[in-house]
Structure formats: structure tokens, C-alpha cells
Amino acid sequence: RELRYVEDDKNDPNVFKRNVLITTVSIIFIFNIFNITLNQSVKEMGLLRLMGAKKRNVRCMIIYQALIITIIGILLGLVAGVTYSYIGISNYNEVLYSEAGLNPKLYINNEIVIKAILVGMISVFISCIIPTFKIGKISPIESIINTDKIKNHRSRLGIDRLVSKIFGFYGFMGLKNIGRNKVRAAISMLSIALGGYIFITTFSSMQEEVNSKIEDMQNRYNITMQFGVNADPQISKYTDSDVENIEKIKGVKSIHKIQITNGMFTFNNKDINKEFTTYNGVEKKEIMEDKLVLKLYDDDYIDEKLNDFVEEGSLDDIKKDTDGYPNVAVYNYFYDIVDDHTIKPIFKELNIGDIITVKIPVEENNTIVYKEMKVRVAVILKDEWIAMGDGDFMPDLEIITSNIHSKNITGEQKYTQLGINLENPYDEIVNNEIQKISRSIPGSLFNSRLSYHEMSESIYKSYIKSQIAIIALVLIIASINIFCTIRTNLLIRKKEISTLRALGVSLKNMKKMLIYEALAYAVFSFIIAMIPSFINLVKFTNWNNDAYINYGIENFMSFTFPIKESLLFFAISVFVCLIAVVVSNRDFESMNIIEGIKENE
């Protein structure tokens, strides 16, 4: 089963996006490291060029560095991956392993290992292309004269004064520090923004809304008891005694007794949508027949639930005969999942009063035979019955009527399905008591909203855990990026900082400047993250609405701005940036001012 999940992941677009994201973050991180290394070794490279080193020799230094990073990084990554996987599988499904008497074994797919190696090699290769070419163009004279190039923009004096007035001198200096190396700053902010994008889109409340609505669609009742396909149709039925035993359980709200049987209906080729016959593989001829599902409900369900899905006709008619024909409600749609994924009518034209010829299996002389009879269309159901009502997602004609017609149509009144609703759908005690009754009935199958909820919750928690791991990885990389960026800026500005300290600027005010710089990283990263997150969530809303409109649902969901998720991510990004600043500033607290003025390394 687990190997099948691995195979399914290969075709999962979300897994592909996740791999692309991790690769992108890796490339950003390594690219930033290469640029920082290049910036710190500019004078060294200039001296080597003055001593006669060729461009090729200088570039080889970056290439050798890339090879070392690739080899060590891949080896460490594989070891960490195997360790993480072993710990994970040892703590996964412990109950299942103990019940089966099995010890978990770690299976490593060679294809995944090769993919990991390729991702590492590609990440480093892309990251070192620009620094490799850039380092060969360094002018030897300029490199040993000055490494901190600052451009003055007179046209921005007005903006600078405004920023200084709003945030004060140290806030202004902190914001200006970001512009000293725009490329590194942009890369650092982008790495945080990627983590924010995953965080906001993963924990958006809209995902929970979709999961809840899908749960409602998949579970028309809190508990469903029905007989499997292999059950003997002659003896498979729930008795009044079974229903009474369930009704006695405290917490049961209502029980709908349903008789479901599969039959056939006869039709003329010209009357049916050609996509329907093609989809169901019906041999084309003038008179054809195909499967139908017949459902007979008690009057309570018809009055309370079915009335919401009437498109034409009256439900009062399906409780009686007209001209000797049993009146029925017809769901005249099927969902074409092969061609264009839309709901289409089965009969091109279906009107109230039309007569449909059906063949229903009945018992005669202890054998099952198909009884041909005619039914009258009294009600046509809306297309949303398939999703919001009690319709099946199968591409078959559905005929619904009152169980008053049971003996006339099927030969006997019996219950082949029980739809049970509870006071509390997730009450484990009530669910277990009803499940015991179901197990005591041969061939009966038990399905509940509780079990579906637990299964979906388990899948969702696994997804959340994987996303949290990715978010943590991205934010760690982002914090290292910011640490390296601020650290490099401090090294470059060592003389400048020492001069300011000599002029009377306190260490407290210098820290204030760095805090403003960190907050600027957090704010800009947050703004960058919000743009793709907003676009993604709008697309998510539109995609779901477009998908479910084919099930007859006009507005499946509405866009909800992720306020809580956004604020939480902003707090996390501020924390990450402040930690990076605190760590990068440690050495400067004890820096000798005189030595700082003399050196600028």
C-alpha cells in the first residue's frame, strides 16, 4: 500500500510543486552563499589577478567550491533523509504493525535517491553560474581599492527625509542598509516569502471549508448500513426488528428506510444523448437498454428532503398511480468524467407525463427474473441531486419513488439500506453500538461519517506535518540567508560603524538600527508573500467553484482572506529576522573602535 502511495505521488501535481519549491529555495540559498563568499574575497581575487592569475584560475576556485558543496551536501542530505525516514516509519502505524505482528522495514527507492542527487547537482550548478562569470570580470585595481559601492541618488532626497521623519535617524539608517546590496536583500526576502506562501496557503481556513463540504457530500447520512454487491439479493434485507433495535439506542435522531435495486431501462437511440451511450459502452442500435438505479423511500424522506430538489412536477403524484402507471421522480443527468467533465442530460428531452420502460429484478419461484413494466415521469429532479441530495456519482439513470409502490414494482417491500442520523455524528459510543448491530446481520456493511472524518483527518494531519517540515526548512534557510546578508553588511561597514561609535553613537542605538533593518526584511518579505498567496487562494476558490458547478452547485465556496494565517506568519517572520540580527551582531558588541576605524576587512 505504501509503495502504491509512492507511485501515486509521482503523478501528484502538489508533490511536483513541492519539489520545485524546495529546489528553488536551495538554489536561492546556495546562490546567496556564493555571492557572499565572492563579496568577502574580492580583495583576495584582485591580488591574485595582480600576481598573474588568469580569469580561468580564479573561476576554478568557485567551481571547486561548488564541487565540495555538492559532494558533502548530497552525502549529508542522504544520511539525514535515511535517518528521518527510519524514525518516521518506526513511529508510523504502530498499532497496525503490532496487530499484524510485523516489524517496520525501511524501503529506499533508487529512483528517489537518484532524484535527490540530481536536485542537489542542479541546485549548485544553477547557483554558481552567475558568481563564476562575475568573478572573472573583477577589475584587480578596483577590487583592492574599495569593496563597498554605494550610489547616491539626489532625486530621492525628499523620500529619504520623509522616511527619516517617520522612523527617526536610526530607522532611516536601518532601511538604507537594505539597499546597500539589493540583490542579496531581495534574495533573503524572497526566501522568507516562499515560506510564507506555503504557510498561508496550507493553513488557510478555506481548505477546512472544502474538506467539510466534501465530507457532507460523501456522507449523506451520519451512518449508512447497506448490503454489499456479493450479498444474496433474495435474503439481503433489514427487518423492522433491526430498525427497532437501532431506534432504541440513545442518541439516534432519525432512520430513513430505503429500498435500492439495480435494473435496466429501454430507450430509443435518437432520444438519448450520444455521450451517455458512448460513456457506458452501450452497443448502438435503434432500441437499446442500459442500467438504472431504482430507489424507494419512505414518505418522511420524500416530504422532508426530496422536495428541495424538485425541478418540475409535484411530489404528491409519486405517492399514487396515474392511468395505471406508478409515478416516479427521475434524475435525468450523468457526470461525464471522460471528455469535458460536465453534467449532461441522459434523455435529450424529458417531460412530465413521459412513460419509461424499465426492467426490475423480482423473485419468482425462488429465482430472480427481470420484470418489464412502465413508469410515468411525475417529477424531474435538479442536477444538484447528485452532489447535495442522495444521488450516486455513477453515470446511470436514477428513478426515485415512494415505497408505496414497492410490491407493484419490485414484488415486495423491503429495506436494503438504512440512512441513520445521530444527535452527535461523532459520538463513538453510539457509532460502536450501531456497528455491533450491523455486524450481527450477514452481509451488512457499515459506513459512518465518524470513520470518514477520522480517515480524512489522518490524511490531512500527514499533509500538515509534511508542510510544516517544508516551512521549517524554508524558514531556517531564510534565517541563514538574512544572517549572512546582515553579517556581510556589518563586515563591509566595520569602519563606518566604528566611526559612528567614535562620534558618540551608543551601542543601544546601533542595535536599534539593526532591529529596524530586521523589521524591514520581515515587512517586505510579508508583502512579497501575500501577493502569490492571494493569487493562489483566489485560483483555489475559482477552481473549486468551476469544478462543483458541474455537480449543480452554483457557489460551492467563497473567498476568505486569511487574516489569522497572515498575522501569524508575519509574527514568525519578525521572530526569524530578529534572531538572525541578534546572532549576526554578537561580535560587534565587543568590537574595538580604534581597530575598526583602521581596518575594513
> What HEC string does 481-541 produce?
HHHHHHHHHHHHCHHHHHHHHHCCCCHHHHHHHHHHHHHHHHHHHHHHHHHHHHHHHHHHH
Residue 3 has pLDDT above 60, yes or no: yes
What's the whole-number mean pLDDT along residues 378-389?
Answer: 86
pLDDT band at 379 (very low <50, low <70, confident <90, very high): very high
Residue 436 has pLDDT above 50, yes or no: yes
CA atoms within 13 A on the CB side of 138: 31
pLDDT at position 409 is 87
pLDDT at position 275 is 80
Computed over every residue of the chain, the mean pLDDT equals 79
Query: Closest by alpha carbon to 434, among 230, 300, 243, 258?
Result: 243
Q: What is the dihedral of CA 104, 110, 114, 120, to 10 degrees?
A: 10
Residues with Cβ within 8 Å of residue 561, at least 6 apart in sequence: none
Query: CA angle 194-528-13, nearest 5°?
Result: 40
Query: CA angle 494-498-501, nearest 5°?
Result: 145
**Structure confidence by residue, pLDDT tens digits, 130-182:** 777 777 676 666 555 554 444 444 445 555 566 566 656 666 666 676 666 67
pLDDT at position 159 is 58
Of 55 and 441, the one with more pLDDT: 441
Q: Which amino acid, one-letter code, is at 574?
A: V
pLDDT at position 512 is 76
Which cell numbers in the block locate residue 223? Answer: 451512518
Backbone phi, then psi, for 460, in 5-degree steps?
-65, -40
**Structure confidence by residue, pLDDT tens digits, 317-353:** 888 899 889 999 999 988 776 666 778 888 989 999 9
**Structure confidence by residue, pLDDT tens digits, 115-130:** 888 878 887 887 777 7
List own/partner pairs for 201-205 with CB under 8 A and 24 or more apart. 201/533, 201/536, 201/537, 201/540, 202/464, 202/467, 202/471, 203/464, 203/562, 203/565, 203/568, 204/537, 204/540, 204/560, 204/562, 204/565, 205/560, 205/562, 205/564, 205/565
Residue 239 has pLDDT above 50, yes or no: yes
Q: Which amino acid, one-letter code, is at 464?
A: I
**Structure confidence by residue, pLDDT tens digits, 539-572:** 989 888 887 877 777 788 888 888 888 888 888 8
Inter-CA distances, 271 with 8, 265, 285, 346, 507, Å: 40, 13, 12, 9, 87
Query: Closest by alpha carbon to 443, among 223, 230, 262?
Result: 230
Any alpha helices (H) in 157-270, and if so which ranges? 157-178, 182-202, 205-218, 240-247
Q: What is the pTM assigned to this prediction?
A: 0.69
Residues with Cβ within 8 Å of residue 72, at least 6 apart in sequence: none
pLDDT at position 147 is 47
pLDDT at position 478 is 72
Residues with Cβ within 8 Å of residue 104, at least 6 apart in sequence: 89, 90, 92, 97
pLDDT band at 585 (very low <50, low <70, confident <90, very high): low
Q: CB of 452 within 8 A of CB of 425?
A: no
